[in-house]
Amino acid sequence: METITVALGERSYDILIEHGLLDRAADYLAPLARDGHLLVVSDEKVWAALGSRLQAGLRGVEAVPILVPAGEASKSWAGLQSVVDRLLEQGVERRDKIVGFGGGVVGDLAGFAAAIVNRGCGFVQVPTSLLAQVDSSVGGKTAINVAAGKNLVGAFHQPSLVLIDPSVLHTLNPREVRAGYAEIVKYALIEDADFFAWLEDNGAKVLAGDAAARTRAIAAAVAGKARIVAEDECETSGRRALLNLGHTFGHALEAETGYSDRLLHGEAVALGCVLAFAFSAERGLCSATDAVRARAHFQSAGLPTALGELGLEGRGERFAAHMEHDKKRAEGRTAFILARGIGEAFVDTSVDLADVAGFLDRVQ
């Protein structure tokens, strides 16, 4: 078992990573049950695929499922209200630990509901998608999407435990695995050039489901995020903003495609990272070689690397308009995560959106 600690003083918590961990869920979740019951927020797809396995792993503790439809649309005011209403119907108490069992949408909903119901109660993340395992389940960011943009309403609310079982990923289709892999590559591009080189050699094994390679990649990504979160939990110093590499471009791409299945979040992050490196190279911040290398790796993983692949070329002004609603915007400036090279990301608040629009009109 890999154990990684997010060091936040009294709110520190462990992330446990092990194949088959779900089958021993009782070891970690049974002590959190009240009257032999655990409130489990999940979605209909995940529960149909893995609910019986979780219930068996709880060994007599009853999982009480609170289900939402699968998909990004559930990450909304209506989805949040549904979850909160069901929790209250079940008599949730402040000392309870709500279990978020699913992908990023479920984790965000469960975490946000836990942050506000009864003025705050605890929760545990049991992520079932690769993207959630390496990104959204760690760090305490919870949110819903609103008309103005993605993740604009939410709270920082840390889980008390994260249980990651890579064996559940067999339920994902290849596209979902690739989308999660994009977030793994993102961590390497931020501050770990050696890890990026390892991914260039072993990424195909990670994508194919090799147990050792997948566990190492998940652990390395999670450890990278845990370090940054411990240094800047609520994005007050700028350090945590590095985790948004690819996201300023990516969120604009998602908005332009209507937050639909046309472009999954991880796919948007992959293309966003490619654009961030290309923009950095155009501004003379990093070498063209590093920008090409980043693009080539995402391309080798079967992820989108060009606006033209999605029919989104020539929309610079529209993308810039989406970026004006970015939640990281401060004092009228949008924070961009750019790069001086692979493993050398940094925050730049001096970027003019007109320059970004022009770049996006030119780039292929």
DSSP string, 100-169: EEESHHHHHHHHHHHHHGGG--EEEEEE-SHHIIIIITSS-EEEEEETTEEEEEEEE---SEEEE-GGGG
Structure-token match 């609910």, residue found = 51
Residues 6+ apart with CB under 8 A from 69: 43, 44
- Position 364 scores a pLDDT of 75
Question: What amino acid positions are annotated as catalytic residues?
Answer: 119, 141, 183, 225, 235, 240, 244, 247, 251, 265
Tell me how far apart the alpha carbons of residues 315 and 318 are, in angstroms, rounded to a whole number: 5
> CB of 63 within 8 A of CB of 38?
yes
Tell me, what amino acid is at 221? Answer: A
Residues with Cβ within 8 Å of 130's Cβ and at least 6 positions away in sequence, in order, are 169, 172, 176, 177, 179, 180, 181, 183, 184, 218
8 Å CB contact between 242 and 228? yes
Q: For the chain, which domains are there?
A: 2-168 (3.40.50.1970), 174-362 (1.20.1090.10)
**Local confidence pLDDT in tens for the 364 residues of the chain:** 999 999 999 999 999 999 999 999 999 999 999 999 999 999 999 999 999 999 999 999 999 999 999 998 999 999 999 999 999 999 999 999 999 999 999 999 999 999 999 999 999 999 999 999 999 999 999 999 998 888 889 999 999 999 999 999 999 999 999 999 999 999 999 999 999 999 999 999 999 999 999 999 999 999 999 999 999 999 887 899 999 999 999 999 999 998 888 999 999 999 999 999 999 999 999 999 999 999 999 999 999 999 999 999 999 999 999 998 776 666 668 889 999 999 999 999 999 999 999 999 999 7
Note the pLDDT of residue 149: 80
For 304, the 3-state DSSP assignment is coil
Predicted local confidence at residue 179, as pLDDT: 97
pLDDT of amino acid 326: 73
By CB atoms closer than 10 A (0-12, 13-18, 19+), residue 271 is buried
The total of other beta-carbon atoms located within 10 Å of residue 331's CB is 5
Q: Which of 24, 289, 284 is nearest to 167 (CA)?
A: 24
Tokens representing 363 are: 């780039």
Please say whether the beta carbons of 356 and 279 come within 8 A: yes
Cα distance between the two ends of the chain: 44
- The pLDDT assigned to 142 comes to 97
Q: And the tokens for 50?
A: 């893995």
Provide the token pair at 155. 């709270």
- Please give the Cα distance from 213 to 216 (Å, whole number): 5
Q: Tell me, what's the pLDDT at 325?
A: 77
Judging by DSSP bridges, how do beta strands 345-348 and 336-339 pair with one another? antiparallel
Q: Which of 90-128 are b and which e, b meaning 16 or more Cβ less than 10 Å from the residue's Cβ?
A: eebeeebbbbbbbbbbbbbbbbbbbbebeeebbbbbbbb
Residue indicated by tokens 């695929």: 49
What 3-state DSSP class applies to 323?
helix
